[in-house]
Structure 1
Amino acid sequence: MSGPTLSTALSPENAQFKTNAAHNRALAERLRADVATAALGGSDASRERHVGRGKLLPRDRVERLLDPGSPFLEIGQLAAFDLYDGEVPGA
């Protein structure tokens, strides 16, 4: 079943459209990079210190709680990101 076709005045060939599209691609790439940085859970030294104390990293603890293959949506993965001089607190 298909519905009516929606019309638009947008033109992908328009200079402003191209500028906006490039800007949004850059923002999306930065978001992916920030999420990857936050997922690390801090510096190498802080992770090694945590693991050296016999503790699991937070994301490792969550992974052990979930059934294999269970869907999981992390909410707030960028909470307090880039607020404390490069630390990744994951508040």
Structure 2
Amino acid sequence: MPGGLDEPRLYDACGNHRLLGLIEAHHNAADRYVRILLSNLDYRNRSQTEHRDLLAACRRRNGEKAIVILRQHLREGSETLVSAIREDGLSRKS
């Protein structure tokens, strides 16, 4: 994606092949739920902003700020997803 985050390149920088495998497995398992979240345009915009903020904290090497941003992002994403599943009855359709 032009101007976007090159996630594989960022992850590869860690050099930990076991961690890279875990990240890939997580992405594969979470894909369905990420699609549900991103189908909501408001959440998509907020998520992109949070990802930019997280990347900026990483670039500044501000680990504490990155952790705060990541925890908030994951918590709010989880809450949004649970609400979407409950409202749409998605848990019964699977």
Global fold match (TM > 0.5): no
Please report the TM-score for the alignment, with normalisation by the length of structure 1.
0.32
Larger relative contact order (CA 8 Å, sep ≥ 6) = 1
